[in-house]
């Protein structure tokens, strides 16, 4: 069974950093591209970033370029999202997802609240 | 960016058919594949894949869900609607970066 378990969310002040993790199991992690998708409270879904199966390629939405870094450790079957210079508008639940052409499997999400 | 437009809400009766539409600002087909996918999200839960590549049923999804369409016009059909189907439904395109989602259609009971 595919499982994706996010962790690392919480309350953080504007301008500070936070690192999210996503532990994967039930599939061969290094065979798949992975992504982060966020959802602000009571809002819709927004793609944040994608990383290729081997980590060689990364893609970001414009609003997080230069502030967020997606990475992976295939030996640990873990996906990461380093979030720097956080803003109030980054407040959201962050989901990790396994990608084929679609977001096939999703974790349960971790809530990040950016507030002073 | 490709913009996906969905109606915000749809009211339906149990055991009736629900049709949820998604219109895209650009063609999302390429070489015979529709890069259009549908997700269901219940309150407090993560999204779940229902339909991929326009019309393919994801694993474990009941056959009362179906997807159709091509180009810029796509439809998710639920027939018949059951109580467990009350949720918000999102379309998503993966033809071009960035991948984008529709605003979601909240399925409500009449």
B39 touches chain A (CB under 8 A): yes
Cβ contact B102–A44 (<8 Å): yes
Mean pLDDT of A40-50: 98
Using CA coordinates, name the residue in chain B closest to A49: B98
Q: How confident is the model at residue A35 (pLDDT cuts 50, 70, 90)?
A: very high
Phi, psi of B86 (to 5 degrees): -70, 115
How far off is chain B from A108, nearest CA to CA, in Å? 5
Cα B1 from chain centroid (whole Å)? 19
CB A5 within 8 A of CB A23: yes
Cβ contact A102–B53 (<8 Å): yes
User: Looking at the partner chain, which of B37, B90, B97 has a beta carbon nearest the beta carbon of A44?
Assistant: B90
For residue B50, the model assigns a pLDDT of 98
CB B55 within 8 A of CB B67: yes
Specify the residue for token string 């989901």: A95
Mean pLDDT of A4-26: 98
For residue A15, the model assigns a pLDDT of 98
Q: Which of A43, A57, A63, A101 to mutate against chain B (most B CBs within 10 Å)?
A: A101
For residue B79, the model assigns a pLDDT of 97
Strand runs (DSSP E) across B1-110, as ranges? 4-5, 9-12, 18-24, 29-30, 33-34, 36-41, 48-52, 56-57, 65-70, 73-78, 88-93, 100-101, 105-109
Residue A59: list chain B partners with CB under 8 A. Answer: 97-98
Mean pLDDT of A54-74: 98
Q: How confident is the model at residue A40 (pLDDT cuts 50, 70, 90)?
A: very high
CB A50 within 8 A of CB A70: yes
User: Looking at the partner chain, which of A35, A61, A106 has a beta carbon nearest the beta carbon of B47?
Assistant: A106
**Is A54 buried (19+), middle (13-18) or exposed (0-12) by CB count in 10 A?**
exposed
For residue A44, the model assigns a pLDDT of 98
For residue B77, the model assigns a pLDDT of 98
Mean pLDDT of A1-21: 98
B37 touches chain A (CB under 8 A): yes
For residue B108, the model assigns a pLDDT of 96
Specify the residue for token string 């982060």: A36
């Amino acid at each position: 069974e595919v499982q994706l378990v996010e962790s690392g969310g919480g309350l953080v002040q504007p301008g500070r950093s936070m690192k999210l993790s996503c532990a994967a199991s039930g599939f061969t992690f290094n065979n798949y591209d992975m992504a982060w998708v966020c959802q602000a409270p009571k809002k819709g879904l927004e793609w944040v970033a994608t990383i290729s199966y081997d980590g060689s390629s990364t893609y970001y939405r414009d609003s997080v370029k230069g502030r967020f870094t997606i990475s992976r450790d295939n030996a640990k079957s873990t996906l990461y999202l380093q979030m720097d210079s956080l803003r109030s508008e980054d407040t959201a639940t962050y989901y990790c997802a396994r990608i084929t052409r679609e977001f096939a499997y999703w974790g349960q999400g971790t809530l990040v609240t950016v507030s002073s | 960016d490709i913009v996906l437009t969905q109606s915000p809400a749809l009211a339906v009766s149990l055991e009736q058919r629900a049709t949820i539409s998604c219109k895209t600002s650009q063609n999302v087909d390429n070489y015979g594949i529709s890069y259009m996918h549908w997700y269901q999200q219940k309150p407090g839960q993560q999204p779940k894949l229902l339909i991929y590549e326009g019309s393919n049923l994801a694993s474990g999804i009941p056959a009362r869900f179906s997807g159709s369409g091509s180009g810029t016009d796509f439809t998710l059909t639920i027939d018949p609607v059951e109580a467990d189907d009350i949720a918000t439904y999102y379309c998503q395109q993966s033809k071009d970066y960035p991948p984008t989602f529709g605003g979601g259609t909240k399925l409500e009971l009449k």
